[in-house]
Amino acid sequence: MVFDMREMLVGKGGFSYHVSDEQLEAFQCLTPLQRLQWVDDARRFTLMARTPETAVRQERLRQGKSIV
């Protein structure tokens, strides 16, 4: 049985994406330090790309509060 998140999300909003075997293999070849750098780069990108509203919501979640 192939698990496909896209089928679960139909009509429910959200998002999905596909990671190819080649992409997984490339990540697997990275050293632990390179993997951590990759994760940190992704973290920094999401911080720079977020909207002010998203920043407020993330801070509320970090504090254990509701986002509404």
- 2-39 pLDDT per residue, tens: 555 555 555 566 678 899 999 999 999 999 999 999 99
pTM over 0.85: no
In this predicted structure, what is the pLDDT of residue 16? 81
**Mean pLDDT, range 37-64, rounded to an integer:** 94
**CA-closest candidate to residue 58, choices 48, 67, 49:** 67
In this predicted structure, what is the pLDDT of residue 1? 44
Query: CA 62 to CA 43: how far, in whole Å?
Result: 15
Query: CA 4 to CA 2: how far, in whole Å?
Result: 6
Per the structure block, which two tokens stand in for 22? 């080649």
Per the structure block, which two tokens stand in for 23? 């992409």
CA dihedral of residues 58, 27, 8, 10 (deg, nearest 10): 80
